[in-house]
Chain A
């Protein structure tokens, strides 16, 4: 079974702090994704990566950056945390496959981040 592991289930940080959220997958997936999930807004894509050292902005990249130095690890960085970044953060991975966009995504259990 595919396993996507997020480093923390719950995290509390203060405004202005630099926050790192880590995600590791064990299935050699090319694609990795970071989403945030807020009530009434569903999942919104922050960044994704389709290869090591490659990254693409999603729909809401402002205030975030990412790092993918190794294929299995994708990190989300909040450069200077603000209260409006309090949310559930979900990491996912998928095979690239032979046809883009046809592979299911596998999710971690999420990190519930509170910024005080």
Chain B
């Protein structure tokens, strides 16, 4: 079955960067886009963007351009998202998702806490 396994929680300082991973299994990694979604504590969902694992092509929500960078490692079926110049407003759970239809399958999320 399709699984997306994300890396663990991060506590980072303001101004720093963080890189999280999303390892896919149960399907051919290059078949579907990997999407990234942000959820602030107790809040709704925001679409950050997507990356095509086969081609490496990316599509970012304008709001997150310069903040988020997507990469993939096809050899390990893993997608990565790096967030830079972190501020307390970046404190959120970050999900990866994938699928043929919409955001069919979701990872368990990575809690990123930005605090000095």
Chain A partners chain B: no
